[in-house]
Structure 1
């Protein structure tokens, strides 16, 4: 495990924080990679949780966008209690997603994190055109990096809110009718990430609509 110092902590939404860390020497990762993080505290060093780097490799610092769960005294909630200057332990990186071709990204809540670095990298290279994001959340206050995502040139976004009916978003759960409305041409590459029950439901919908299994890449 590598020891990394927290440089900066920012509040992103009411329950999501952005952590900027010093990148340890020899920590080489690719866009779409994740790592395991543990607290550098007695009794917690063996308790690891996976998180995706939302920064780009060339930045030479590591960014993580992490949702906290106040009702559960686990690693993520304890991470939310750390301060700038504290340390965490991070393992070597591993692959979550690799961008193959333009497609439809379907994310639920914090499931947006593996896609953030991909979108940032594509925008930087001027290659974001042709990609689409269907982003499901409970309310508008839960949408992570909304302003940044909506400002990305070439990325088409559809917001879906389960607990709120508001202008600029679609109300309900992602179902077959919604996907047919958002994606008229289903002969596309699909990238999925979110809570397992949601991803299972979306996979079933895509299968029902005739999307080939080898056109779908997913992580949770």
Structure 2
């Protein structure tokens, strides 16, 4: 594996506790939409603390972009990420990951699990190939939905959201469970892309299998 030191060129807030971080792109660096890399902060004492983050830019962009949720309650990398600024540096490795586009289907995300889908959907949109892809997201609160306006503009009614904890949200409240999927999905013989917290992914995959989704049509990080 080849490692690269890349300088941060821009840091912008996206929604509450989520930042878009753009870095230099090493010459010849390649990735496929949906893939990730291991990232470490180049601060004293943090160089060996590697964490996986997904690329959210297009492969053709002349920079690399990560959309990262930070956690104040944590004491590790995802808390320190909130302090980075232009001029700081990341070390990144090669690209990897099993979340890659296999054809039109349904994307299902829990919280920040939407990030691997951003590059895929942006890439399809740039080529005019969004087709009838569908995105379903679950978040605790409405102000946590990452890139809501952009995704709504791209997908329209095929971008659906559920809110699990906020009192009286404007968006539908509830969880992505079997009843929800049966109501909103007509065809289970198509690819399903699933990403989010480990328990969320496990539960959704089990539900999809029970509803007739084919195991080789389930795309998730393994």
TM-score by length of 2: 0.94
**SS of the residue aligned with 1:41?**
coil
Q: Distance in 2 between matches of 1:128 and 1:154?
A: 11
Give CA deviations for 1:3-32 in whole Å, capped at 9, x if unaligned: 111111000011100001111223222222
State the partner residue of 1:196. 198
Size of the aligned set, in residue pairs, is 219
Q: Distance in 1 between matches of 2:145 and 2:211?
A: 27
Instruction: State the Cα distance separating 1:154 from its structure 2 match.
Output: 6.6
Q: Does structure 1 retain, via aligned residues, the 8 Å contact 2:108–2:136?
A: yes
Among candidates 107, 110, 113, match of residue 108 of structure 1: 110
- Structure 1's consecutive aligned runs of 4 or more residues displaced over 6 angstroms after TM superposition are none
Give CA deviations for 1:90-134 in whole Å, capped at 9, x if unaligned: 111113322111000000111111100000010111110110001
**SS of the residue aligned with 1:123?**
helix
Q: Does 1:51 align with 2:50?
A: no
State the partner residue of 2:25. 23
Higher strand share: 1
RMSD: 1.4
TM-score by length of 1: 0.95
Q: Which runs of 5+ in 2 are unaligned?
A: none
Q: Distance in 1 between matches of 2:86 and 2:119?
A: 23
Give CA deviations for 1:63-95 in whole Å, capped at 9, x if unaligned: 100000111121121121111111111111113
Q: Does 1:166 align with 2:183?
A: no
Q: Distance in 1 between matches of 2:36 and 2:125?
A: 20
